[in-house]
Amino acid sequence: MGNRTVIPFGPQHPVLPEPIHLDLMLEDERVVEAIPRIGYIHRGLEKLVEKKDFQQYTYVAERICGICSFMHGMGYCMTIESIMDIKIPERAEFLRTIWAELSRMHSHLLWLGLSADAFGFESLHMHTWRLREQVLDIFEETTGGRVIFSVCEIGGVRKDISPETLDKIDRILTDMEKELKEITHVFLSDSSVKYRTKGIGVLSKQAAFDLGAVGPMAKASGIKRDLRTQGYAAYGKLKFEPIIETDGDSYARTSVRIKEVFQAVDLIKQAIAIIPEGGINVKVTGNPNGEYFTRVEQPRGSAMYYVKASGSKFLDRFRVRTPTFANVPALLETLKGCSLADVPILILTIDPCISCTER
Amino acid sequence: MAILSMSKTLFKSLVHGPYTVLYPVKKKETYERTRGRVEINISQCIYCGLCQRRCPTGAIQVNRGNTTWSIDRLKCIQCNYCNEVCPKKCLRMNNEYTSPSFGSVRDDYTNARVSGDKENN
Ligand code: SF4
Ligand code: SF4
């Protein structure tokens, strides 16, 4: 047994897009324990429901996270719609699905780029982000924003996508698929990349289940849990199977995310093919009264939204459980026994989004 | 196991040249829906204050008494909510962004209407 050393990792570290602190207990080069500390960027967004009325809060909910912004807005709107018993038009459900899947694509491409950066493959990082840019352009063209879309509202969506633009999206995605295959091939088969991911940070199926892992973290360990199968928005009308891998290592998690990008392309194309005509929103009158729980499958895993309202225009309580929060225990488990050089890539492997964890 | 699997992409980009836009020589074009900056057609405004009440960030200040409408550019989050609620449809979302600045930017608009002055109304 060597000497024990404690190395502080974060909150500022080149590999971390957002601040989280870990005290790494090392024995020589091996990590024996990791102690996390979060709370650097708490913004008090949940408390803000008492100051902003429930309509205005849609714009706050979107800003919980910059990457899953659309899905946070959608989760919040779905919760309020369930309380107020609002049935949104079918076209709005399809539009929400299209934007949600585009968000999944852009989130996973962002992550792939960041992970390439973490294992030191700069050009791969840049090329992944070059592809992601096309998704952001679609967002800007259809919603007016590149990161925050402000397009979801209680009762539907605020903007329609014309049939021509839908065709254009379909064409862009078809072209993109070829380039995606070329880039993702590097992640899945290049020997130097595999050397950094294969067999690193293995999370067994039992451990993933016991620690409550969600999203690609759980799916890569063989847990078939994807909330989209519940059929919220238009997912019930589209054909897809949750993506599962069984190895539970960093490579399996990369593979799940890559397959989800292609699945998202497929889902968007399916949605474009069968999107019905009609209105995109219904008028909302009155204030919500009651409480409700909604779950949504975000790129990083399942997110939960809880709203309690008592008939006034200000909500009593709003609570979000974000996927990164659920994945932190699993992260600590995978860090045990790894070497210090693998810590950055393992932290990235859960796709950490700290600002949404702390809200 | 593949080695040099990236080379095809790299050679292609050598031929292709930069994928980025040479800012500021060339600017990235905006789309019709791009949300840049709120503009007001002040002569249409009736100073009802609805935009001020609905704005989630409190960026707008309306004063009915001396007929002014002002907006704090850096507080505005370009959500377009004011635009949707305005009964006179005198607000509009411009595609151009407000340029970056060190201090707060407040744009004031005053209508030259004077009550009883038929010519200017
Ligand atoms: S809502 Fe329209 S009319 Fe009313 S004060 Fe604002 S800009 Fe003027
Ligand atoms: S766009 Fe939104 S934040 Fe900006 S002034 Fe209008 S309501 Fe306020």
Q: Specify the 3-state DSSP secondary structure of B39.
A: strand
Supply φ then ψ for residue B92, to 5 degrees.
-150, 145
CATH class of B33-119: alpha beta
User: Token digits for B96?
Assistant: 């151009």
B60 lines ligand 2 (CB under 6 A): yes
Residues A95 and A160: beta-carbon distance below 8 Å: yes
Q: Is the CB of B57 under 6 A from ligand 2?
A: yes
CB spacing of A182 vs B8 below 8 angstroms: yes
Ligand 2 mutation pick, B53, B73, B80, max ligand atoms within 8 A of CB: B80
Is the CB of A140 less than 8 angstroms away from the CB of B34?
yes
**pLDDT tens digits, chain A, 359 residues: what are they?**
567 888 888 788 877 778 888 888 888 888 888 888 888 888 888 888 888 888 888 998 888 888 888 889 999 999 999 898 888 898 998 999 999 999 999 999 999 998 888 888 888 888 899 999 989 999 998 988 888 888 888 888 888 888 899 999 999 999 998 889 888 888 888 888 888 888 888 888 888 888 888 888 888 888 888 888 887 888 888 888 888 888 888 899 999 999 999 999 999 999 999 888 888 888 888 888 888 988 888 888 888 999 988 888 888 888 898 888 888 888 888 888 888 888 888 888 888 888 888 88
**What are the boundaries of each domain within chain A?**
43-358
Respond yes or no on whether the N-terminal peptide bond of residue B24 is cis (omega within 30° of 0).
yes
Q: Where are the domains of chain B?
A: 33-119
Size of interface A-B (CB pairs under 8 A): 66
From chain A, which residues contact B within 8 Å (Cβ)? 52, 55-57, 59-60, 63, 121, 123-124, 127, 130, 140-145, 148, 150, 158-159, 182-183, 185-186, 189-192, 194
Chain A residues inside the 8 Å CB shell of B5: 185-186, 189-190
Tell me the pLDDT tens digit for each residue of B56-107. Answer: 988 898 888 888 888 888 888 888 888 888 888 888 888 888 888 887 888 7
Q: What is the ipTM of this complex?
A: 0.80
**CATH class in words for A43-358:** mainly alpha
Question: Residue B31 C-alpha to ligand 1 middle, in angstroms?
Answer: 26
